Amino acid sequence: MKIGVVGLGYVGMVTALSFSSLGHDVVGVDVDQARVQALRNGKSPVYEPGAEDYLARTRAVFTSHYSELNGCELVFIAVGTPPLSDGSQNLAFLRSAVDSLRQSGYRGAVVPRSTVLPGTTKRVVAPYFEHVGYNPEFLAEGSAFRDFFNPDKIVLGYEDEHTLSLLREAYEKIQAPRLEMDLSTAELVKYANNAFLSLKVAYANEIGNISKNIGVDVYRVMDAVGLDRRIGREFLNAGIGFGGSCFPKDLSALIAFSREVGYEPVLLRAIYEQNAGQPYRLVSLLKTRYPTLQGLKVGVLGLAFKPNTDDVREGPSIKIVSKLLEEGAEVHAYDPRATENFRKVNPELSTRVRYHSSARECVQSSDAVLILTEWQEFSDSSLYDGKPVFEGRRIFGREGVGW
C-alpha cells in the first residue's frame, strides 16, 4: 500500500524506512530541506545503527512537498511534541503538519505516531479528516529498527473500521500481539508504558543509593530481584538517572495532564524528583575523594544520554558537566558520537569544556575520570592508566553511584 510519513526525525525516518523495507510504497515528508537532501543522498541526519544500510536500499521517496502525499492511503505523523516550560505538550508541530496536510488536499487516513496526551488526536486531527487513528511507537534510540520489526505489541488506535483495516494492512507482515482500541486508550498506553519504564529505573537508583551507603552492589541485588517473573531484570540498571527525548518529557506531560483532569500524581512526581537529583550523586561521589574540585582535571567519558546514539537531550551529562564547572573543575570530555550535539545543547556551557578526539587522550589529560555513558569502547581497562575512575554507568563495577 502507499504510505506517507510526515516528520523524518528519529521516529519518522525509522518508520518510513521500515515500512518501505516491508514492501510498501513510502513517501517521507519533512519541512527541513537539509534533512530531506541528506536522506536522498543516503545520509542519515541522526546516528541510528542500520539507518544507512536501509537508506542505501530503500525505495522510499523523500520530499518537503506535502502534495506528494496525495495517493497515499495512510499518512503517519511523527513530528516532535516537545515539552513547554510548564511541562505540558507543545503541539505546534502537530498542528502545523495537520494544516499542511489539509491544504495539500490529502483526503486519506491520518495516524499520529508522536507521543500525544489522551484526547489530542480527537481534538487536533479528527475535526479535519474523516479517517483518523493513533499508533504509538515503542522505538528506543540505538535499537529502533530492531524494535520496529520485533515489537512486543502493536497498538492500533482507531475510531472507524476503514482506518483500522489500513493499519492492519500496514503491519500485516510483522508478527506481534495486536491491541486494537479507541484513540484515548492508545494515547494513554504510550505514557503509561514509558512512565513505568522510568519508574523501574528510578526504583533501581533508589535502591542503588541505599546500597552505596552500606557497601552493597545494587547490580547483585537487581540480578536477584529481576529473576522474579513478575518483575523482570530489564530497566533495573542503576546509574546516574534516565535522560533522552522521551522519559523526562513524557513524565512531565503526564504529570501536567493528570492535574488537568483532577488528579495529583504523587507517584509520578516522585519518579521525576528522584531522577532529577540522581546525576549529582556522581559528583558527590567524586567529592568523597576530592573534597574540593577547584582546579581538578576531570575527564568525562560519554556525553550521549545512552550508548549507540548521538542524542544528548535531557542527558545526565548536561547536569554533571555544569556542576563540575560550577565547582571549579577543569572538564575534559570525549564521546564517540555525541560531542557535536553536546556543543549545541548549551553553547555557553560548552565553550568551557575541553573536548578530545579519543578516550585515551581525554583520560591522559585528567586527574580523575567519570563514566557517563556505557559506550563499549570504555570497557578497555588499559585506557585508564591507573587514574581513579567513578562510574555513572556500569562498566567495571568497581566504584560507582550504586556499587
The answer to the question of residue 345 lying near ligand UDX (CB under 6 A) is: no
Site string for ligand UDX, 216-235 (x = CB under 6 A): -------------------x
Q: Decide whether 30 or 137 has the Cβ nearer to ligand UDX.
A: 137
DSSP state of 127: T
**Closest distance of CB 155 from ligand UDX, Å:** 11
236 binds ligand UDX (CB under 6 A): yes
Please report how close the Cβ of residue 209 comes to ligand UDX at its closest, in angstroms.
Answer: 13
Nearer to ligand UDX, 95 or 153 (CB): 153
Q: Distance between CA 332 and CA 330 in Å, rounded?
A: 7
54 is an interface residue for ligand UDX by CB under 6 A: no
Q: Which residues pair with 390 in a beta bridge?
A: 370
For the question of residue 72 being annotated catalytic, the response is: no
Q: The cell 510498501 sits on which residue?
A: 24
CB of 237 to ligand UDX, least distance (A): 3
Site mask, ligand UDX, residues 284-313, x = CB under 6 A? Answer: ---------------------xx-------
Ordered DSSP codes for 291-342: S--TT-EEEEE--SSSTT----TT-HHHHHHHHHHHTT-EEEEE-TTTHHHH
Closest to 134 (Cα-Cα) out of 143, 125, 144: 125
Distance CA 38, CA 36 (A): 5
Nearest of 133, 137, 170, 173 to residue 153 by alpha carbon: 137
Among 29, 79, 246, 285, the active-site one is 246
Q: Which helix (H) or strand (E) holds 93?
A: helix 92-103
Among 44, 81, 120, 194, binds ligand UDX (CB under 6 A): 194
Instruction: Choose which of 243, 279, 299, 402 interacts with ligand UDX (CB under 6 A).
Output: 243
Contact call for residue 278 and ligand UDX (CB under 6 A) = no
Give the binding range for ligand UDX (CB under 6 A) out of 102-110, 124-132, 240-248, 330-338: 240-248
Place of cell 558520537: 337
| CA dist., res. 60 & res. 21, Å (int) | 9
Cell numbers placing 379: 570497557
Q: What residues are annotated to the active site?
A: 246
Return residues touching ligand UDX (CB under 6 A): 137-141, 194, 197, 201, 235-237, 239, 242-244, 246-247, 305-306
